[in-house]
Chain A
Amino acid sequence: GENVEQHPSTLSVQEGDSAVIKCTYSDSASNYFPWYKQELGKRPQLIIDIRSNVGEKKDQRIAVTLNKTAKHFSLHITETQPEDSAVYFCAASIGGSNYKLTFGKGTLLTVNP
């Protein structure tokens, strides 16, 4: 089955710095890669996603890059703010399925004022 590795498990940055979280996946048939943000005690919320026919996608301060050959994708957050502090999960669609996901183990991002 699909295996998603996520690094680092914790990341601490100063406000205004950039943060990068990286994920690798094992199933070459995966074609959808979402990122979820989960604040303490709250539901996971989609912040950005990318499909396999695209190499990069940006939405204001966040961007995701995908390298299908190497089977890795990354989340980039620029100009970090304290409210960016949360756990971030990457995920990959399972095989050819468009509706089942395997999640990485999460990265606890702390943005220090």
Chain B
Amino acid sequence: DAMVIQNPRYQVTQFGKPVTLSCSQTLNHNVMYWYQQKSSQAPKLLFHYYDKDFNNEADTPDNFQSRRPNTSFCFLDIRSPGLGDAAMYLCATSSRYRGSYNEQFFGPGTRLTVL
């Protein structure tokens, strides 16, 4: 089945130690998103790629970076994780070219713990 896959599902890192989360998709969607979701809160958009074009949200901390080497893969790099970065990180995709292209398909998320 076409899907959005995130690895790892659970990630534990130490304060200040860089960490990379990965997302892959078999939907061939041209838009990919990274959201941060803290407990009992709504998903908060960090940035998205529209094809190869990177779009950062104004309030996304500089500590967060992203890479999209090809259509299928997208990475979230947290350069120096702080305790406040502990959260669920959700990857999502959508297709800009199809009639129902607004729908965003979410991956299962990576739960990040910062010690």
Chain B interfacial residues counted at CB < 8 A: 21
Bound-complex Cα distance A45 to B107 (A): 10
Number of interchain pairs (Cβ within 8 Å): 48
Residues of A within 8 Å of B102, CB to CB, are: 32, 34, 49, 93, 98-99
B104 A46 Cβ-Cβ under 8 A: yes
The residues in A between 19 and 46 inclusive whose CB is less than 8 angstroms from any CB of B are: 32, 34, 36, 42-46
Contact status B108-A103, CB under 8 Å: no
In B22-46, the 8 Å CB interface with A consists of 31, 40-45
Q: Is the interface of A mostly helix, strand, loop or mixed?
A: strand
Residues of A contacting B90 in the complex (Cβ-Cβ under 8 angstroms)? 43-44
A89 nearest in chain B by CB position: B42
How many chain A residues touch the partner (CB < 8 A)? 20
B43-A103 in contact (CB<8A):
yes
Bound complex: CA of A42 vs CA of B109, how far in Å?
8
Binding site for B on A (CB under 8 A): 32, 34, 36, 42-46, 49, 89, 93, 98-106
Interface residues of B (CB under 8 A from A): 31, 40-45, 48, 50, 90, 94, 96, 101-109
